[in-house]
Amino acid sequence: MGPIAQSGTGIVYHAQDRSLERDFGIKLAAPGLAFQPDST
């Protein structure tokens, strides 16, 4: 499966759960947003 959408906050990948026979999306945060130690 591959990417289905991209924005400034990350990329959404298409994935499949073979045991449940369902498609779903997984969003990975952009590297600059993944770790922000100063955020509240």
Domain contains 38: no
pTM of the complete model beyond 0.85: no
Domain contains 10: yes
Domain contains 40: no
Judge whether residue 14 has pLDDT over 90: yes
Contact 26, 15 (CB under 8 A): yes
Number of domains observed in the structure of the chain = 1
Question: How confident is the model over 17-37, as a mean pLDDT?
Answer: 86
Q: Give pLDDT, residue 40.
A: 59
Domain contains 19: yes
Domain that holds residue 7: 3-33
Domain contains 27: yes
Question: How confident is the model over 23-35, as a mean pLDDT?
Answer: 84
pLDDT over 90, % of the chain: 45
Question: In terms of Cα–Cα distance, which of 23, 28, 1, 24 is closest to 12?
Answer: 28
pLDDT over 70, % of the chain: 82
Domain contains 23: yes
Residue type, 33: L
Q: Give pLDDT, residue 11.
A: 93
